[in-house]
Structure 1
Amino acid sequence: MKKILVLHTGGTIAMQEDEHGAVTPNLVNPLYSTIESLSSIASVVVDDYLNIPSPHMTPSLMVNLAHRLKERVESEQLDGIVVTHGTDTLEETAYLLDLILDINNPVIVTGAMRSSNELGSDGPHNLISAVKTAASEDAYGKGVLVVLNDEIHTAKNVTKTHSSNIATFQSPQYGPIGIVTKRGVNFHHTPAKRDCYAITSLEKRVVLLKTYTGMDATTIDAISETSIHGLVIEAFGQGNVPPTIMPALDRLINRGIPVVLVSRCFSGIVQDTYAYDGGGRTLKELGVIFTNGLNGQKARLKLMVALEKTNDNDQLQTLFLT
């Protein structure tokens, strides 16, 4: 029987709703009653590592989490790991773990959209599905995976798409790579490649901004007065911005501060297609770094990680097209 670590970090999956409808952290994790029923699936070890709402999660805590997971895998000969997490920042924690956690053991991140005592609570079922996936031989070597609602997603592609629906986690363009059924775990896709960077801490400050009509250089200039090390811009469509912010972006790049471009669209990638002022081609000529389908919050994390390895704009561009 596989030995699986279930590490808790908090979130809705570990909360309860009171008589007034307020959902708050619970002193005793309600998932313990579910853990007891997992004995037929795996030998489960529990680690009550954190108990925080997911908006309280930070990149530093994510890095510490990665260190803890690696240490426990190496010291206890674990076959797989399940991390329970709040859904608001679940995709960011999963992606950062995928970027810096250099182990091949299955690492599954799961959560819940409904607290433990709400009608139709999805936490227990998601935990069971996650443990099944972590114990699956086919999950080995696929990087960090996200399992909710009986679907298996890659950390790179998955995102939260609905504020309350239990089917909120989806992978735009690509879809899930597998499903969990009563009979077992079935993968129908395999990730082609995976980035992994050996870092021990994240010290760089990266800001994420979304473009909007009528946007001017004021906000970017104000941000540039702070001690930032990088900027991610969520651009229109295929990667276009208001022409009024071009001078501010140029000033940042000339100061050696990398600017990374993503699309604010739900699907698609940025491309250097349009040659008008503020279009993708003019941004490319300016030295803006183009991504290959990452959303804004994940591009920010990747830039933070990449800046720990290099400040060279050409090298950063190569890393973001991987």
Structure 2
Amino acid sequence: MFRATAERNAMSLTGRSAAVFALGGTIATTADPRTGELSPALSAEQLLGSVSGLDALGVELRVHDFRRLPSASLSLADLDALHAAIRAELDSGRVDGVVVVQGTDTMEETAFYLDLLHQGEEPIVFTGAMRDATKAGPDGPANLYAAVIAAAGPWLRGAGCVVVLGDEVHAARTVQKGHTTSPAAFTSPGSGPLGLVVEGRVRLHQQLPHRTTVPPGAGGTADPRPVRVALHTVAFGDDGTQLDLLDGQCDGLVVAAIGAGHVPEGLVPRLHRLADRIPVVLTSRIGNGPVLTRTYHYPGSEQDLLAAGLIAGGDLSLYKARLLLHRLLSIGCHDRTRIAQAFDAIGRRDG
């Protein structure tokens, strides 16, 4: 057993391969030589050329300049197109995994959305940078180096989409960006990272995550109209006026409630009325921990809201709950029971 473990630890990546899709973001940002203004202008080849020691890994890289955008300007249509391009690469059998390079601002959402779509065993590794190449100590090259190792190696097969920054490997299901500027911005509240990239390999701290995917055709007939899913964060003293404005303007709603799933009593009739017409998912604005389902029972409590027809969002953040609900509605799944089952399934980390 010791010998086999040692052999795996010393495994070479020579002969393995990965596709790299560059979308822009801070990691691709450089200064215009005339104006000094910063923009995501570096190509995928330029990014890879800046990574010391990458050639020594022996990994064959298939490079794609897919987009050059700040991540806030990426759309779901861009991600659907990215998934199709990744699927074509994986179906060709020429790569062992995929690296997606993009801005960090929306990375927790884009990685989760692709995790819902991705059906294969090959890992899709998202990475980027918190410091661009014009700053002292840019982190992009080291993050890209670690991401190539994670994507090309055998350790993350079946993990779906992961995020690799600061040598830590985070599951798309749990990862959050928790700081606006720190190089250590990414964490997985409540679970911690899956593992660490060290000495040319991934060392896993825990089992690979249970995954729930939502492939095309899983819900019924796709809706040709653009799907609109709104977000409402409940604040202290919220009088529900914004909820009234949403009535009739969206196909689904995610509510980020106070604490473990609570709202002011006056919001309950409004939410009940909305839940009679569209799916309304209950999450917490805290971003760490689940909404409760059977602890408190008073007007505005989680039991009161669930009895009014809201759907428990488990421990998904409001942003990821929005993407799951959007995905379900876009493939034609409008049945409240089936939507609740999907949220329940994705919350079962034990499989």
**TM-score normalised to the size of structure 1?**
0.94
Give 1:117-128 correspondences, 5 Å limit: 117-128=134-145
Give 1:1-322 correspondences, 5 Å limit: 1-17=15-31, 22-26=37-41, 28-29=43-44, 30-34=46-50, 37-41=53-57, 42-75=59-92, 77-199=94-216, 203-226=226-249, 228-255=250-277, 257-272=278-293, 273-307=295-329, 308-322=331-345
Distance 2:336 2:200 in 1: 49
C-alpha distance 191-184 of structure 1, shift in aligned 2 (>3 A): closer
Q: Is the 8 A contact 1:159 1:169 kept in 2?
A: yes
What amino acid maps onto 1:253 in structure 2? A
Question: What runs of 5+ residues in structure 2 fail to find an aligned partner?
Answer: 1-14, 346-351
- Displacement of 1:58 in angstroms is 1.3
Q: Is the 8 A contact 2:171 2:209 kept in 1?
A: no
Count of residue pairs brought into register by the alignment:
320
Distance 2:255 2:319 in 1: 10
- Displacement of 1:163 in angstroms is 0.1
| Root-mean-square deviation (Å) | 1.9
- CA deviations 1:218-259 (Å, max 9, x no partner) are 111111132x1100011111100122221211111122x010
SS state of the match for residue 249, structure 1? helix
Distance 2:209 2:54 in 1: 32
What amino acid maps onto 1:254 in structure 2? D
- Displacement of 1:39 in angstroms is 2.4
Q: Is the 8 A contact 1:114 1:122 kept in 2?
A: yes
What amino acid maps onto 1:115 in structure 2? D
What amino acid maps onto 1:38 in structure 2? L
Distance 1:309 1:98 in 2: 19
Q: Is the 8 A contact 1:38 1:44 kept in 2?
A: no
SS state of the match for residue 127, structure 1? helix
What amino acid maps onto 1:53 in structure 2? P
Question: What runs of 5+ residues in structure 1 fail to find an aligned partner?
Answer: none
SS state of the match for residue 155, structure 2? helix
**TM-score normalised to the size of structure 2?**
0.87
- CA deviations 1:12-60 (Å, max 9, x no partner) are 0100246887532225454132368422221111100000000001112
- CA deviations 1:178-214 (Å, max 9, x no partner) are 1011342111212342111112888421011111011
Q: Is the 8 A contact 2:52 2:141 kept in 1?
A: no
